[in-house]
Chain A
Amino acid sequence: ETGVTQSPTHLIKTRGQQVTLRCSSQSGHNTVSWYQQALGQGPQFIFQYYREEENGRGNFPPRFSGLQFPNYSSELNVNALELDDSALYLCASSLDGAGGYTFGSGTRLTVV
């Protein structure tokens, strides 16, 4: 059974650019949630995808968008990057969104 894998592990982007982060869910899991963790803070919920549909969104602007694919992997896209977008981005997968979350190792995004 494979866990949650995220890519890339580290990324440096320039303000105003766009970025795509990827997450492969744990085998058997059909729900993926994305979280943003700024330095020294707790993770903040961005959104959740369940069976390829967005299933809830946190307090993030529309330039944060996502996708879930038929194999339940997911992408997080951020447009018009701002310095404050620098953070660790975590994805977590679960079955039917019903708890039992497994977190990936995260993508460290630095915006300069």
Chain B
Amino acid sequence: ELKVEQNPLFLSMQEGKNYTIYCNYSTTSDRLYWYRQDPGKSLESLFVLLSNGAVKQEGRLMASLDTKARLSTLHITAAVHDLSATYFCAVDIDYKLSFGAGTTVTVRA
């Protein structure tokens, strides 16, 4: 059974500092997604990583994928309040997504 583990589950960030969220998974896959979810809302797609070594960046967020280590990271640079949300990674196996438990991020001044 595929397991997708995110850590940390909760992250209190100070504005202006850098942080990383980790996503480990137990079965080979070369497709991984990162989503953002605001309270009571649906999932907003952040990144699609489709190959080993893939790196994508958008604003203060950068995601990478190491399929050999079965690890993806979401790096946040110079955190700002607008980044407060829950972030999920999802591994695609046979075009079905298995999600991690999510990392709830709170950015404080």
Once bound together, how far apart are the Cα atoms of A106 and B31, in whole Å?
A: 24
Q: Looking at the complex, which of A14-22, A61-69, A71-79, A92-100 is the stretch in contact with chain B?
A: A92-100
- Interface pair A42/B100, CB less than 8 Å apart: yes
B:10-60 near A, CB below 8 Å? 31, 33, 35, 40-43, 45, 48, 50
- Interface pair B96/A103, CB less than 8 Å apart: no
The A/B interface has a contact count, at CB < 8 Å, of 55
Place the interface of chain B in its size category.
20 to 34
How far in angstroms is the closest Cβ of chain A from B52? 16
Contacts of B66 in A (CB 8 A): none
How far in angstroms is the closest Cβ of chain A from B25? 12
- Interface pair A101/B45, CB less than 8 Å apart: yes
> B94 contacts the other chain (Cβ, under 8 Å)?
yes
- Interface pair B42/A97, CB less than 8 Å apart: no
Contacts of B99 in A (CB 8 A): 35, 42-44
Contacts of A108 in B (CB 8 A): 40
Once bound together, how far apart are the Cα atoms of A58 and B94, in whole Å?
A: 12
| CB-CB under 8 A for A94 and B95, given A41-B102, A100-B48 | yes
- Interface pair B42/A104, CB less than 8 Å apart: yes
Q: Mark A14-45, 1 if CB is under 8 A from B, else 0.
A: 00000000000000000101010000011111
- Interface pair B94/A56, CB less than 8 Å apart: yes
How far in angstroms is the closest Cβ of chain A from B9? 10
How far in angstroms is the closest Cβ of chain A from B100? 6
| CB-CB under 8 A for A103 and B95, given A42-B88, A42-B101, A42-B102 | no
- Interface pair A99/B42, CB less than 8 Å apart: no
> B98 contacts the other chain (Cβ, under 8 Å)?
yes
> A86 contacts the other chain (Cβ, under 8 Å)?
no
How far in angstroms is the closest Cβ of chain A from B51? 12
- Picked from B90, B95, B97, the residue with its CB within 8 Å of the CB of A98 is B95
7 chain-A/chain-B pairs, Cβ below 8 angstroms? A31-B95, A42-B102, A43-B97, A45-B98, A56-B94, A58-B96, A105-B41
